[in-house]
Amino acid sequence: MTGTLSSPAYPHRHILGIEGLSPDDITLLLDKAETYVEQNRQADKKRSLLRGRTIINLFFENSTRTRTSFEVAGKRLGGDVINMSVAGSSIKKGETLIDTAMTLNAMHPDVLVVRHSESGAVHLLAQKVNCAVINAGDGAHEHPTQALLDALTIRRRKERLQGLVVAICGDILHSRVARSNIHLLNTMGARVRVVAPRTLIPSAIDRMGVEVFHDMAAGLKGVDIVMMLRLQTERMHGSFVPSTREYFHFFGLDAKKLAVAKPDALIMHPGPMNRGVEIDSEVADDIDRSLIRQQVEMGVAVRMACLEALTREIPNELSL
């Protein structure tokens, strides 16, 4: 839109999901994020790129980590960040979604960062507002910034995504992290496996371009990356799996199961971890293998990149 910008512009109005993004879109965001990693390690972390811009974190579902990450990202770019936590039983589902969106829209925010427990809720909201929308997780659908930060973390260690074999293990059925990662990794030329008991694998997942395993020994064989997923407490005791003990025995990641992966295989987890359920502390805390803390660090950089990408096309006289 403005011809003065040197680097290519992100061509979409929102970031609602990884599905539909091109390899160039993803690379653009990752490259942008890369520039923020160093900045975030300096004493002076603040920039004025988003000065005068209003970012509203609208969280219909509780999340301290993701919300904080977006808040830090927005503030480091100089934006005004407002947190609206509307999670809780007083919210009548949906009806207030549009109402809340319209109310906030009238305050002229520049970016809405939205998390909601229902798949598709963020798409719906994005149709009703004038500003850019970032999906911070919708139901079991997508969590695009998580997949981007995972990709950035992998790329910094492995220097590529193309050709890597990645096993995503655990509750695929309910996981937006899994879906976004499947889209991203496939788009970037990695090979994706999913590993879980059959009750936690959604039907026709193979149609999303993954190989399905129900056995960790087979699923982890020769992989470069092991991504573990969190198993929610309410799904542990007899509904989807019989017990945490049995789950850990067959599907929890420990040093023994990890032994069949490549010798330099790396371990990831979107957090928060259930130690002793899906992952053993010994591997989670292995500083040579575990990328879990780096993921958190990359999260801020990726979210800064997303905020920049969505706002740079909006004329802002202050930053010129």
Partner 1 sequence: MSRIFLRNARLLDPASGLDRKGSLLVADGKIAELDPPLGSSTAGAKEIECQGHCLAPGLVDMRVELREPGQEHVETLESGSAAAVAGGVTTMVALPNTEPAIDDIALVEFVARRSREIGRTHIRTYAAATRGLNGREITEIGLLQAAGAVGFTDAHAAIADAVVMRRALSYARTFDALLIQHPEEPALAAGGALTEGETATRLGLPGITPAAEVMMVERDLRLVEITGARLHFAHVSTAAAIEAIRRAKAQSLPVTCDTAPAYFALNETAVGEYRTFAKLSPPLRVEEDRRAVVEGLKDGTIDAIASDHSPHPADSKRLPFTSAEAGIIGLETLLPLTLELVHNRHLTLLQALKAVSQRPAEILRLPAGRLAEGQPADLVLFDLERPYKIAVDEFRSKSKNSPFDGRPVQGRVLKTMVEGRLVFGGEA
- Which residues sit at the interface with partner 1, rule CB under 8 A? 19, 93-95, 97-98, 116, 118-121, 123-124, 138-142, 176, 179, 202-205, 207-208
Pick the closer one to partner 1 by CB: 4 or 203.
203
Pick the closer one to partner 1 by CB: 147 or 205.
205
Q: Which of 143, 174, 176, 193 is catalytic?
A: 143
Question: How many beta carbons lie within 10 A of that of residue 47, not counting itself?
Answer: 16
Beta bridge partners of 113: 57, 134
Pick the closer one to partner 1 by CB: 3 or 238.
238
Pick the closer one to partner 1 by CB: 2 or 203.
203
The separation between the first and the last C-alpha atoms of the chain, rounded to the nearest angstrom, is 15
Q: Which of 41, 65, 128, 237 is catalytic?
A: 65
- Residue from 104, 120, 121 nearest 56 by CA: 104
Beta bridge partners of 133: 112
Catalytic annotation present for 249: no
CA-to-CA dists, residue 81 to 75, 107, 109, 132, 228, angstroms? 7, 13, 10, 14, 31
User: C-beta of 127: minimal distance to partner 1 in Å?
Assistant: 9
Q: Which two tokens stand for residue 204?
A: 């026709």
User: C-beta of 182: minimal distance to partner 1 in Å?
Assistant: 10
User: C-beta of 6: minimal distance to partner 1 in Å?
Assistant: 34
Q: Which of 93, 160, 245, 293 is catalytic?
A: 93
SS3 191: strand
Q: Which of 14, 53, 115, 269 is catalytic?
A: 115
270 CB-side CA count, 13 A: 26
Catalytic annotation present for 115: yes
Catalytic annotation present for 45: no
Catalytic annotation present for 66: yes
User: C-beta of 121: minimal distance to partner 1 in Å?
Assistant: 4
At residue 53, φ and ψ (nearest 5 deg) are -90, 145
User: C-beta of 174: minimal distance to partner 1 in Å?
Assistant: 8
Strand order in the sheet with 132-138: 80-85, 54-59, 111-116, 132-138
Q: Which of 54, 66, 145, 187 is catalytic?
A: 66
Catalytic annotation present for 103: no
Pick the closer one to partner 1 by CB: 43 or 204.
204
Which residues are known catalytic residues?
65-66, 93, 115, 143
